[in-house]
Amino acid sequence: MPRRGAAHVLHPLPAGLLDRAALALGPGTAPAVAEELAELTGRPVLGYDAEGRLSGADGAQDAPLVLVGAALPPALRGDPRVRWFHSVNAGVDALLDGGWPAGVLLTRTVGRMGERIGQYALAWALADCQGVPGHLARTAARAWRREPSELAAGQTALVYGTGHIGTAVASALRAAGIHTVGVGRAEHAPGGPFDERITAEGDGPWLGRARFVVDALPLTDATRDFFAEPRLSALRGATFLNVGRGATVSLPALGRALAAGHVRGAVLDVLTDEPPAPGHPVWELPRTTLTSHSAGITAGTDITADFRACWQALRAGEAPELAVRVGRGY
């Protein structure tokens, strides 16, 4: 089994493989998804459980396997019949931990997640400008006091991650007049919804100017604890939103930045440990809101639409746009 950082070439499956393949869905997948995928593929949809046991597999014991689910159990991870795994989630770091089986195509579900997360980021940015957290606290305390607000237009947002999610976040923020600066890889093409594009190595001058910092990074070796002391302490009253992956942020460093006022407030949709235990330090962070990994909940229609797109690309002998580059981690 290759290391996570090993090279991975995106290529279509061998001709005719899908004609012979059996399709199986993992636990927790809605019945409507199974019905639509059965109609698309023209074959019965099997199931597999958390132990990797296939159900309804009579007559398909030797067929290549196409799996759709959230996790790939160890028993199936080493099964040579598995040729394609379609993740029902956009983030695949948990699947890649410990390596990915050679020769197995990995695709993912994005659906309308970018639109949902963009709306989420805009909602929290506007709520922050309008002082909504303070109004809620004063209402709970039965205190009547006017609170100044600020315009979102003209503020600057650093959006880390310029892929599907990051560009959708930038589109939403830019619609409110927020100046968006995309922070991504050097080879990413300029343009899109960003007003400006920079690399992570060039973000220093921007950190002190940002009103909002949006973490939309995938989790890779390069992004683990990306937001740690150097970046967080360089902020000057920015609001920090994490819609990427929990492990891209050092919570101790975030706590110190909040205490020092470098970070005005934080909205965390994702954490390394989910759900956090009652005594977890994240519950004690000042001016921090947790939103329980709900910014971009995947709908069944997202799964079926993206699987359909991958299926059609493979039937045409093409590599799906949603195929994961395992060496990069996304």
Q: Which residues are catalytic?
A: 245, 274, 293
54-55 and 45-48 strand pairing: antiparallel
Distance between CA 168 and CA 163 in Å, rounded?
9
Burial class (CB in 10 A: 0-12, 13-18, 19+), 240: buried
* Cβ proximity of 99 and 77 under 8 Å: no
DSSP type of residue 137: H
Distance between CA 236 and CA 296 in Å, rounded?
28
Helix H or strand E segment including 242: strand 238-242
Backbone torsions φ then ψ of 233, nearest 5 degrees:
-75, -15
Backbone torsions φ then ψ of 317, nearest 5 degrees:
80, 25
